[in-house]
Structure 1
Amino acid sequence: MKKIGITGQNGFVGSHLYNTLGLHPEKFERINFEKDFFDDQKKLDEFVGQCDVIVHLAAMNRHPEPEVIYENNLDLVKKLIASLERVNSKAHVLFSSSSQEEKDNLYGKSKKEGRELLAEWAEKNDGKFTGMIIPNVFGPFGKPNYNSFIATFCHKLTHGEQPVIDNDGEVKLIYVGELIQEIINHINSEESNKLYEVPNTSVNKVSEVLQKLEIYKNLYFDNGEIPALESGFDLNLFNTFRCYFDIKNHYPAKFTQHTDPRGAFVEVIRLGIGGQCSFSTTVPGITRGNHFHTRKIERFAVIKGKALIQLRKVDTDEVLDFYLDGNEPAYVDMPIWYTHNIKNIGEEELYTIFWINEPFNPKDADTYFLEV
């Protein structure tokens, strides 16, 4: 078992890496990192001394004064190196640099010089070091106006604003889940790689990305229809988009119910994509679920009885409660990385329709059990 520490573990990439490592407790032990460790030599040394691998992600991306970014990022690297030397660490250090290295800006300069300083530390101390040049990263839970233009577009489209394109260039992109797999591959490796260019997984014009997101907004956000997702990039972009909803106020989403003397008809889901649809009955007091997915799209639709559907993002304590009643048929969709359950809180059987975008595969279930 390897002991892994992540500076910046609460940031965009750091939180995804931390949570993904947590899916494999038999392989990895996560050593907790707090932001204030960089200001406390004793705490930083204690952290560094425990780690077999340190993934250095902590950095500043944006600030009104570029010099502050440059000085802050180099200062973090220097503090990490000083700690590595004080405790005589033999940890494998992975450093996230950026494709901005070759651009004429102080952020890129701070990343390049930080990578070179860590490479010098490894050379001088017989240490292990991997410097990763990372393309533009997008994915769920990135900060709008900070991590990615995709985060900004998603937030605006789901909050009543219209995105504006400043520069419609081609952008090399990688989904955060794909980047995490690259990092884990290096964590598992015993070899140093002082300069590793992480390959991008797609190239898109900014306007093309916005066009897809506007389709998702019109079909899914406004009307609950799952759009056609023709590639892995489309699925990753759609799952990213879904995570910018104001979930508390968006769900439960009521169906349109058509009634006549014969009874009622409700369209549960309209698809531009396939998947698996199932039906369940649940007796009073029973709870189903308590698991989460990292890629699957799932809908719970209550058509008879009374239900409590609960969601909780895996690295938070806030539980979102949604009460559904079959007299007013409604649904809740499950964002990725949200553990969820459904409980019969009525006095009669609960009838629920479940839809998921891929048939269940026990060898690759993408289902991780965790109490809400």
Structure 2
Amino acid sequence: MKKIGITGQKGFVGSHLYNTLGLFPEEFERVDFQKEFFEDNDKLDEFIKKCDIIVHLAAMNRHDSEQMIYETNIALCNKLVTSLERTNSKAHVLISSSTQEERDNLYGKSKREGREAIVNWANENSGKVTGLIIPNVFGAFGKPFYNSFIATFCYQLTHGEMPTIANDGEVKLIYVQELVMKIINEIQSEKSQPELFIEPTSTKKVSEVLALLNDYKTKYFDNGEIPVLNDKFEHNLFNTYRSYMDYKTHFPVKFTQHTDPRGAFVEVIRLGIGGQCSFSTTVPEITRGNHYHTRKIERFAVIKGKALIQLRKINTDEVLDFYLDGVEPAYVDMPIWYTHNIKNVGNEDLYTIFWIDEPFNPEDADTYFETV
């Protein structure tokens, strides 16, 4: 059992890494980190002593003052090195750097010098270090106007704003979950690599990304259609886009119901992709679900009876409650990293249609059980 601590645990990459490590309970034990530890030597030392592996992600990415970015990032690395020395730590330290290392800016300089400080500590103390030189990262829950242009575009398109392109250059990208798995692979390898370039998984022009996101807004956000997703990048980008929606106000979405003397007709889902569609009946007071997915796209459509659908983002306390009634058929889509369930709260059988974008595979189910 490897004990792993993550500085920047609650940040964009840090939170994804922390949550994913939790999917390997027999291999990894997560050591809790709070940003206040950097202001208290005793607490920082206590944290360092507990860790077999430290992933140093804490950093400032943007600020009005480049000098502030530089000074903050260097200070964080120096505090970490000093604590490693005080505690005589033998931890494997993985530090995140950036492909901006070679650019003529203070952010890139801070990342390069910070990585070099950790490498020097390792060389002088027989330590182990992995310097991760990372391209642009995107994914669910990134901070708009801070983590990436994709985070900014997604936020704007889901909040009634119009993105603009300042520089339509090509950008080398990696999805946050792909990066997290590369970090975990490096942890498992136990190798020391002072300079490890993480290869991007896609290269896109800014305008290409915006065109896809605009398509998602028109088809999915405005009309409820699951768009064509041609490859893994587009699948990841679509899940990223969905994470910026205000679920509390967007769902449940009522279906358009067509009635005539024969009865009623409702189109449940319009697809640009395939997947698996299922139908269920649920007796009163029974709850289904209480699990979450890290990649799957899923829709719950209630067509008869009364249901309570609940969602809760992993590592948060807020529960979103959606009450649906088959009298007005409606649906709720499940975001990634949200545990969810559905309960029959009526007095008759509940009829639900479930759609998911990939057939169930017990060898790779992407289904993790946790009570809402």
TM-score range, shorter chain: over 0.9
Aligned to 1:58: 58
Number of paired residues?
372
Aligned to 1:143: 143
Aligned to 1:211: 211
Q: Structure 2 CA distance, aligned partners of 1:313 and 1:133?
A: 30
Q: Offset at 1:125? A: 0.2
SS class of match (2:204): strand
Aligned to 1:287: 287
Aligned to 2:133: 133
Aligned to 2:184: 184
Q: Does the alignment pair 1:196 with 2:191?
A: no
SS class of match (2:279): strand
Q: Does the alignment pair 1:317 with 2:323?
A: no
Identify unmatched segments of 5+ residues in structure 2. Answer: none
CA displacement, residues 241-289 of structure 1 (integer Å, 9 cap, x when unaligned):
0000010000000100000011000000000000000000000000000
Aligned to 1:305: 305
Q: Offset at 1:315? A: 1.3
Q: Offset at 1:99? A: 0.7
CA displacement, residues 215-251 of structure 1 (integer Å, 9 cap, x when unaligned):
0000000000000001000000000000000100000
SS class of match (2:80): helix
Letter in structure 2 aligned against 1:254: K
Aligned to 2:72: 72
CA displacement, residues 65-94 of structure 1 (integer Å, 9 cap, x when unaligned):
111110000000000001001110000000
Q: Structure 1 CA distance, aligned partners of 2:163 and 2:128?
A: 43
Aligned to 2:359: 359
Q: Offset at 1:212? A: 0.3
Q: Structure 1 CA distance, aligned partners of 2:34 and 2:101?
A: 27
Letter in structure 2 aligned against 1:62: R
Aligned to 1:255: 255
SS class of match (2:264): strand
Q: Structure 2 CA distance, aligned partners of 1:207 and 1:14?
A: 28
Q: Offset at 1:326? A: 0.2
TM-score after normalising by structure 2: 1.00
Q: Offset at 1:361? A: 0.2
For the aligned residue pairs, the C-alpha RMSD in angstroms reads 0.4
Aligned to 2:88: 88
Aligned to 1:21: 21
Q: Does the alignment pair 1:117 with 2:87?
A: no
CA displacement, residues 34-88 of structure 1 (integer Å, 9 cap, x when unaligned):
0000000000000000000000000000111111110000000000001001110
Q: Structure 2 CA distance, aligned partners of 1:23 and 1:314?
A: 12
Q: Structure 2 CA distance, aligned partners of 1:299 and 1:239?
A: 13
- Identity, in percent, stands at 74
Q: Offset at 1:190? A: 1.6
Letter in structure 2 aligned against 1:282: T
Aligned to 2:336: 336
CA displacement, residues 178-230 of structure 1 (integer Å, 9 cap, x when unaligned):
00011001111121000000000000000000000000000000000000001
